[in-house]
Amino acid sequence: MYGNDFGTPDEPGRPGLLDQVADAERELRAAADRSVESEGGERYFEALVAADQKIEPRDWMPDGYRKTLIRQMAQHAHSEIIGMQPEANWITRAPTLKRKAILLAKVQDEAGHGLYLYAGAETLGVTRDSLYELLLAGKQKYSSIFNYPTLTWADVGAIGWLVDGAAIVNQVPLCRCSYGPYARAMIRICKEESFHQRQGYEILYTLAHGTPAQKAMAQDAVDRWWYPSLAMFGPPDTDSTHSEQSMAWKIKRFSNDDLRQRFVDMCVPQAQVLGLTIPDPELRWNAERGYHDYTHPDYGELMTVIKGNGPCNRQRMAHRRQAHEDGAWVREAAAAYAAKRREPVNA
Ligand SMILES: [Fe+2]
Ligand SMILES: [Fe+2]
C-alpha cells in the first residue's frame, strides 16, 4: 500500500480522494448540461452557483469573483513552476536510472500543471505574460513550501509524500470549484498529484526499510518537512482573510483548518506503515472529537517565509528570473514562427 490508501481509520466507508475526483468529474459533465434558466447577469450567476453548476468564461461574474480567481489560479500556477526547483535539484543525483526517469517525469508534470493553470487564468481576461511579470516583480506569491531546501535524496521522498499529499488534500475540493475551467484543470492535476504522492511514499518506504543510515535519512527528511507541509494549508481559520467570500462563491469548499486536520488524519496511518515517526509529541487520537490532536505549525515562520525571508526565497526567485531571461530567445522564435504560419501562402 504505497500511499494510495487515503481512507482514515475512523471512517472506513469514506471514499478515497481519487474516488472524490471521479465523482467531481461526473458532476462536471452533468453540469455542462445546464438546467438553470435565466437571462444572464448577477441573478443568473447566483442561480448557477446555488445550483452547483459551473460559471464559464462567457458568463457575467462579479469583479471580485474574477479577481479572486485570477489571484488564486495565478498563485497556483506560479507554485507549480517554482515548485520544480527543489526537486530538479536532485535529477542529476538520483540514485538509479529508474529513479531519475520517474523524477524527471514528475517534475515535467509540474510544468504541465503550471501550463494548464496559466491557460485557465487566461480565460478570465489576463495574459500569461502579465502573470509572469507579477511573479517576477514579487507582486504575486507562490506556495511558501518551495522556499525550503532539499538537502538529501530522502527529501524527494518527503516532498512527494507530504507536499504532494497536502496539495491533493487541498486540491481535491477544487475539482468542485464553481469556475468551470479551474475545476476541469484540477481533475487532471489531482490524478497526476496522486501519482506524485505515491512515488514519494515509495521512496521513503524503500529508505525506511533499508540500512539504519537510510532509515535515519528518511526520518530526518520527514522531521524537516512535516511542519512546513502543515503550513501549506495557510493561516488558521481565525486569521484567514479571503475564506468567507470564497466559500460563498463555492471557489473554496472547506476551511484551512478542516483541510489541515484531514491531512493529519490521512498521514498518521501512512507513517505507521512507513515505520517513520511524525515529529509531534502531542499527536494522538482524540476519541471524543473523532480526529487526531496535533501541534499546529509555527504561523510566525509561515508569515516570514511568505514575506520573502524563508531559507531559499531569494535563490528561487533569482533562478526563475534567470530562466525567464535565458528563455527569451525561445519565446521570440516561437512568436516569429507563429506569425509566419499566419501569413497567407500565396501572398
Ligand atoms: Fe503539481
Ligand atoms: Fe505534484
CA distances from 323 to 84, 128, 318, 319, 327 (A): 12, 16, 9, 6, 6
What ligand is nearest to the CA atom of residue 78? 1
CA 13 to chain centre: 26
Above 70 in pLDDT, residue 295? yes
Region of residue 245 (phi > 0: left; psi between -120 and 50: alpha; otherwise: beta): alpha
The rounded Å distance from CA 193 to ligand 1 centre is 6
Above 60 in pLDDT, residue 5? no
Higher pLDDT pick, 179 / 33: 179
The rounded Å distance from CA 286 to ligand 1 centre is 32
User: Most distant CA pair in the chain: distance in Å?
Assistant: 78
Find the radius of gyration of the CA atoms of the chain.
21
Region of residue 192 (phi > 0: left; psi between -120 and 50: alpha; otherwise: beta): alpha
Cell 527529501 belongs to residue: 155
The rounded Å distance from CA 109 to ligand 1 centre is 7
In this prediction, residue 3 carries a pLDDT of 35
Poorest-pLDDT segment among 14-18, 64-68, 77-81, 203-207:
14-18
The rounded Å distance from CA 168 to ligand 1 centre is 9
What ligand is nearest to the CA atom of residue 193? 2
Poorest-pLDDT segment among 51-55, 213-217, 226-230:
51-55
What ligand is nearest to the CA atom of residue 142? 1
Buried b (16+ CB within 10 A) or exposed e, 273-308: ebebebebeebeeeeeeebbebeebeeeebeebbee
Above 90 in pLDDT, residue 125? yes
For the residues 317-344, what does the mean pLDDT come to?
94
For the residues 289-298, what does the mean pLDDT come to?
96
In this prediction, residue 301 carries a pLDDT of 93
Cβ distance 5 to 197 under 8 Å? no
The rounded Å distance from CA 192 to ligand 1 centre is 7
> Which residues have C-beta under 5 Å from ligand 2, the single-atom ion?
164, 193, 196
User: pLDDT-derived band of residue 15, with 50, 70 and 90 as boundaries?
Assistant: low
Separation between Cα atoms, residue 67 and residue 85, nearest integer Å: 28
Render pLDDT for 181-192 as a digit per residue (tens, 0 to 9): 999 999 999 999
Higher pLDDT pick, 260 / 239: 260
Percent of the chain residues past pLDDT 90, beyond the cut: 79
In this prediction, residue 8 carries a pLDDT of 37
In this prediction, residue 7 carries a pLDDT of 37
Separation between Cα atoms, residue 8 and residue 213, nearest integer Å: 31
The rounded Å distance from CA 111 to ligand 1 centre is 8
Separation between Cα atoms, residue 135 and residue 88, nearest integer Å: 20
What ligand is nearest to the CA atom of residue 106? 2
How confident is the prediction for the chain on average, in pLDDT? 91
Separation between Cα atoms, residue 285 and residue 19, nearest integer Å: 25
What ligand is nearest to the CA atom of residue 111? 1
User: pLDDT-derived band of residue 9, with 50, 70 and 90 as boundaries?
Assistant: very low
In this prediction, residue 346 carries a pLDDT of 66
> Which residues have C-beta under 5 Å from ligand 1, the single-atom ion?
80, 110, 113
Cell numbers representing residue 201 in the block:
511514499
What ligand is nearest to the CA atom of residue 196? 2
